[in-house]
Amino acid sequence: MITASPRTLSAAALLSLFAAVPATAGETVLVSSGDGATLTEYGVAVSVYWTETDDAAAEVVATYKPVVAPAEPARLAMRLEDGDAVSFGLPGIPGLSLAFEHTGEGVRFATETLGTDYASN
């Protein structure tokens, strides 16, 4: 009979999670000014809402926080003109990409988990 310590099994389980993480994504379109939604991706909850400005731009506010880590929520805000699109990662959260786009339909908000490549010698 082969036995392994719990530490060995935990390390193996953790490595198998990283090896098998496919790229995934969540997406929603916030149609009306004042609409909001929350997407949870890669262990991070991101809540977004938007309001329309007097000149038809979108003021977008996003609040994000890791689901299980004891961290304070962080907030970002941006102004998007019609047709503007932006995507970026978050500090301290490698592998997560956020995308925002202001279209005639409203504001599109998407999250995507990016693959992580590790190099070793």
- pLDDT given for residue 15 in this prediction: 34
Torsion over CA: 69, 78, 108, 105 (sign): positive
- pLDDT given for residue 109 in this prediction: 95
Nearest to 78 by CA among 96, 102, 55: 102
Q: What is the number of alpha carbons within 13 Å of residue 110 lying toward its C-beta?
A: 14
DSSP 99: E
Is it the case that residue 119 has pLDDT exceeding 60?
Answer: yes
Q: What is the pLDDT of residues 63-112, one digit of tens each?
A: 999 888 788 899 999 999 999 999 999 888 888 999 999 998 999 999 98
Query: Cα(34)–Cα(119) distance, rounded to whole angstroms?
Result: 44
Q: How far is CA 15 from the centre of its chain?
A: 22
pTM: 0.72
Query: Cα(13)–Cα(5) distance, rounded to whole angstroms?
Result: 12
User: Nearest 5°: phi and psi at 4?
Assistant: -140, 150
3-state secondary structure of 34: coil
